[in-house]
Amino acid sequence: MDIRFENAGVDYGSRTALVPLNLTLQERRIGVIGLNGSGKTTFARLINGLVKPTSGRVVVDGLDTVGDAAEVLGKVGYIFQSPQNQIILPIVRDDIAFGLKARGFDKAQIEAAVEGILGRFGVGHLGARRAHELSGGELQMAALCSVLVTGPDILILDEPTNQLDLKNRALVQRTMATLPENVIVISHDLPLLEDFERVLLFDQGRLVADAPAAEAIARYREMAG
Amino acid sequence: MKTLHVDADTWMHRLSPRLKLLALATLGLLLFLTHSIPVLACANLGGAALYFRSGLPVAEALRRLRPILISITVLAIFAALVGPLHAAIVTALRLTALALFAATVTATTSMAALIDEITALAMPLEKLGLLKAADIGLAVGLVIRFVPEILDRYRAIREAHQARGIKVRLATTLAPLIILTLRDADNIAAAIDARGIRRQ
């Protein structure tokens, strides 16, 4: 993974959501922390091109997130804060297949890929379930399958343990630990990020710390009082 | 992401989604060609017979129809006030029959099948360069997907009113309902883009 922020910043009208920054991300596990409204989500959305920089550019493995938007979307998977908004079709299996249909896979390929991804995470029993009947952790697993089935190299998770009970939180943490993909996690759940190689701390749209997890988290605790 | 589809195995579930959609379109046209109250009443009976055999428990079936029936009643009362009574009755019967047939199709067809069929049926328009067939399928699927979500959201807003001892009024529920719906629509649009569903 090679993500480069080249003086990339975002303004929404007169409000600066992210102050232009220069940064290279190559680690396999990167955490993003900061207070609400500090620019974490804008930062993460720049990486998969959901947000376009208003200054500078973001390059992911040599691809410009604006000029090569479609390729970048294929390379960077994104799991949103509310997985229920990410799941479009009501049956888990149908929803996982949906992203593949859009990419022109044939029926046999889709079936194999869906079975493969459900099997990879040991959640084959969720395939026929209705998404609205799933627990929070199961919903996260379904969202994870629907994103990873398309084979992204990089996965961004926005508050993956938000509103989960301890059991489901542990499930998500265990799953994250086994992912071979490069993972970027935005979270207020600091213990989740404790063994990450690098953690970025944002405050009011600025990157204020870029350090190993322990150091960045300590700074955040200090900042938050 | 609740669904209006009923997980059952009736003969209507087994019918081809394409046949059901074409039958619905044809019935829709025919209902608007007649002004006969007996014919429209029979269509209502037929629609009700199909709908109540779609595998839904009667109470749930009635609950689902309630919002549309209220809307049709309001419309019919308005039509009766400004025009002939016959026209109001015809409008009410026509729309009710259409709602029953449409509810039967959505209850007996999975959303994935519905999107696939609508996409296939819109393909000739794509070949003419008029639109993207997949977008039409996705749009229709999302509308159907949103219906239960909007109702859930309305219930949550109503409960929030009640919890605060505020009388539930259209004026105070409509604005938060629209804002919440639009916000979720933005999130879902972002998710669709992030998953590359509209890339083809």
- pLDDT 10s digits, A143-174: 989 999 988 999 999 998 887 888 888 888 88
Q: Is residue A115 scored above 50 in pLDDT?
A: yes
Interchain CB distance below 8 Å, B112 and A97: yes
How far away is chain A from the Cα of B33, in angstroms, using its nearest Cα? 35
Helices of type H across chain B: 11-14, 17-33, 37-51, 58-82, 85-108, 111-127, 133-163, 170-194
CA B86 – CA B91 distance, rounded (Å): 9
pLDDT tens sequence across B33-62? 999 999 999 999 999 999 999 988 999 899
**Residue B187: what residue type?**
N
Compute CA distances A98 → B6, B11, B34, B67, B68, whole Å.
20, 26, 40, 30, 30
Tell me the average pLDDT of chain B: 89
Contact B17, B117 (CB under 8 A): yes
CA B182 – CA B144 distance, rounded (Å): 16
What's residue B200's pLDDT? 47
Q: Compare CB distances from B2 to A90, A102, A150 and report the shortest one's residue.
A: A90
pLDDT tens sequence across A20-77? 999 999 999 999 999 999 999 999 999 999 999 999 999 999 999 999 988 898 899 9
How far away is chain B from the Cα of A211, in angstroms, using its nearest Cα? 28
Contact A76, A2 (CB under 8 A): no
Cβ-Cβ contacts under 8 Å, B191 against chain A: 78, 80, 85-86, 88
Percent above pLDDT 70 for chain B: 98
CA A161 – CA A142 distance, rounded (Å): 14
A69 touches chain B (CB under 8 A): no
What's residue B93's pLDDT? 96
Residue A130 DSSP symbol: B
SS3 A45: helix
SS3 A58: strand
Complex prediction ipTM: 0.74
Q: Quick one: which of A192, A224, A197, A195 has its CA closest to A208?
A: A224
CA A173 – CA A175 distance, rounded (Å): 5
What's residue B1's pLDDT? 54
What's residue B72's pLDDT? 95
CA A175 – CA A126 distance, rounded (Å): 16
The four Cα atoms A24, A218, A38, B192 give a dihedral, to 10 degrees, of: 60
pLDDT tens sequence across A72-101? 988 999 998 888 778 888 889 999 998 888
- Return the CATH number at A35: 3.40.50.300
Which residues of chain B are under the pLDDT cut of 70?
1-2, 199-200
What's residue B2's pLDDT? 64
Domain hosting residue A71, numbered range: 3-224
Q: Is residue A123 scored above 60 in pLDDT?
A: yes
Q: Compare CB distances from B134 to A87, A102, A130 and report the shortest one's residue.
A: A102
Residue B64 corresponds to which tokens in the numbers above? 């689902």
Residue B158 corresponds to which tokens in the numbers above? 């109503």
Residue A106 corresponds to which tokens in the numbers above? 């044939």
